[in-house]
A and B are shown apart, each in its own frame.
Chain A
């Protein structure tokens, strides 16, 4: 395995030199822009770290440690975006006692930029979610839940564009079908719209109309299913214009992002970091002076 790594790395380095040599003397492999995306999903009200006696995750997690890590990375690269893919609520008595207030307040203190909405975020009803919004100093991005006839109307965004070091990063969000998963008395008149259609539409708007350099989909659909159910992997394959899907719901522990090929034949990354705040996902995009990150002839080193 190590040997293979070495060979791949060596050949990649060789490829650089080769192409550089062929084109012009001015070729320099230094990148003009560096954008860092940090992400969590399915934290499920895990405020405190797991104790040393925990049978599954001893000494793992904890918001206060996550805060330190996030600050370190932001100090290294101020051009960092911090995102969450939903299911912020439910899983420890902190939620049952305080209704999500502490979760939102801590995410605000850590300066989360945006989150999408997971099925468990409806666990105290849509009114329970709405009641906690004043504690959230970050945006809720949800593109396929139509909240028109609910208290959440006007409190979420279809997409948001963040500009970091001149790089335009478009973020939209897709949530899972609530019927059969969440009691309808909780989500009330929230309408679920087809995530593929919505994703196609949003990513086109962001990439083509708004000229975003990076398009990120915050998803709570789930990583992959054995059935036909829509998942992040399916969404990646059936859409175009998305560069990165940050997923959740299935509590999938990926040790590295999955590289998929989209409908237009281009590479797209899908990532998810399990649950309970045990890990922080980090994706670094290095962009050239034209803010390009994608091209033919993609090389992957694992």
Chain B
């Protein structure tokens, strides 16, 4: 890292020899990259200008919303992790009342992506800043209505992904070779003739992480609820975070 930064002032110089008529006129291009680091003094006027924005931001970001009894990272499980379960359960719990009041239907399951867990959560006080770190993007929660056939495509996707993509409302068991041996929604086997309401992010619905089974759903319901806002609202609601791995998505 040090070497990388020190090498930042490597110069590239191009000597151009321009021949016009009998005279020779040289011209030159030089390129360089200048590291912005602690060796450069901060401009006092700019800092002063930023201060009120920063103070307001920090006051809001750092107020404690909840308590986390133990650290959570996204690498602490095989096919389900405490932090992934938390995120998927938050989406279910926060979105279902909104969705039900608007459509009369209930969300059957939630699927997010493991890559979308952008940070861990430290032990101790949880703030709005923690929610921003966890979910820095502006992704909205959407609820798609898809067929049982598409749910099976989703299972095939999960077999290939071999990744702890966060889920809620579904129980998936795979064998050691990542082949699904059992998959149940609301305690029942997947019915190919039925349709299911799946909550996810707009990013994944549009084919992000190659989740193509979400494309062209039977119905697409926007809930006008940002993933991060759902997390912040949940943090405000609970005193202590539930931080358990469980058997919702396992290999055995």
Contact surface of A with B, Cβ cutoff 8 Å: 12, 15-16, 19-20, 23-24, 26-27, 29, 31, 47-49, 59-69, 71, 90-94, 96-98, 102, 105-106, 109-110, 123-124, 180, 183, 254-257, 259, 267, 269, 271, 273, 277-290, 292-302
Contacts of B8 in A (CB 8 A): 255, 279
State whether A299 touches B14 (Cβ < 8 A): yes
Flag if A180 contacts B206 (CB, 8 Å).
yes
Q: How far is the CB of A267 from chain B (nearest CB, A)?
A: 7
Bound state CA distance, A95 and B114, in angstroms? 24
- On whether the beta carbons of A284 and B33 are closer than 8 Å, the reply is no
Complex Cα distance, B202 from A205, in Å, reads 41
Give chain B residues whose Cβ lies under 8 Å from the Cβ of A110.
46
Judge if B207 is at the interface, Cβ distance under 8 Å: yes
Q: Give the residues in chain A near B7, CB-CB below 8 Å.
A: 255
Considering the complex, which residues of chain B in the window 78-106 have a beta carbon less than 8 Å from any beta carbon of chain A?
A: none
Cβ of A124: which chain B residues have Cβ within 8 Å of it?
A: 138
Q: Which B residue's beta carbon lies closest to that of A273?
A: B33
A282 to B16, CA, bound (A): 18
Complex contact A68–B24 (CB within 8 A): no
In the bound complex, CA of A93 to CA of B129 (Å): 8
Question: Residue-by-residue, is B55-71 near A (CB-CB < 8 Å gives 1, otherwise 0)?
Answer: 01100110000000000
Report the minimal beta-carbon distance from B8 to chain A, rounded to whole angstroms.
Answer: 6
Question: Is residue B178 contacting chain A, with contact meaning CB distance below 8 A?
Answer: no
Interface residues contributed by chain B, number (CB under 8 Å):
57
In the bound complex, CA of A105 to CA of B45 (Å): 13
User: What is the distance, in angstroms, from B36's C-beta to the closest C-beta of chain A?
Assistant: 5
In the complex, A233 Cα to B7 Cα: how many Å?
Answer: 23
Q: Which residue of A lies closest to B128 (CB)?
A: A93
Asked, given contacts A19-B17, A31-B28, A255-B10, whether A71 binds B36 with beta carbons under 8 Å apart, the answer is no
Q: Are B31 and A282 in contact (CB under 8 A)?
A: yes
Cβ of B247: which chain A residues have Cβ within 8 Å of it? none
The CB with the most chain A CB atoms within 10 A, among B11, B27, B32, is that of B27
Determine if A60 and B35 form an interchain contact, defined as CB atoms under 8 angstroms apart.
yes
When distances are taken between beta carbons in the complex, the residues of chain B under 8 Å from A289 are 25
B37 & A269 in contact (Cβ 8 Å cutoff): no
Residues of A contacting B43 with CB < 8 Å? 64-65, 67-68, 71
Q: Of B18, B27, B40, which contacts A68 at CB under 8 A?
A: B40
**Cα-based distance from A301 to B10 in the complex (angstroms):** 11
**Contact B29 A269, beta carbon cutoff 8 Å:** yes
Q: How far is the CB of B4 from chain A (nearest CB, A)?
A: 8
Question: Which single member of A257, A280, A285, A297 contacts B36 (CB below 8 Å)?
Answer: A280
Judged by a CB distance under 8 angstroms, whether B20 is at the interface is yes
Minimum distance in angstroms from B211 CB to a CB of chain A:
13
Contact of B57 among A12, A94, A298, A301 (CB under 8 A): A94
Rounded to whole angstroms, the CA-CA distance of A63 and B36 in the bound complex is 9
Shortest Cβ distance from B202 into A: residue: A183
- Residues on B with C-beta less than 8 A from A279 are 8, 33-36
Contact A292 B25 (CB under 8 A): yes
- Shortest beta-carbon distance, B65 to chain A, in Å? 14
23 A-B pairs, CB-CB below 8 angstroms?
A59-B37, A60-B36, A62-B42, A63-B46, A65-B42, A67-B45, A96-B132, A96-B228, A97-B57, A110-B46, A255-B8, A257-B31, A259-B14, A280-B36, A283-B29, A283-B31, A285-B27, A286-B28, A286-B29, A295-B27, A298-B16, A300-B13, A300-B15
Closest to A97 in B: B57
Closest to B42 in A: A64
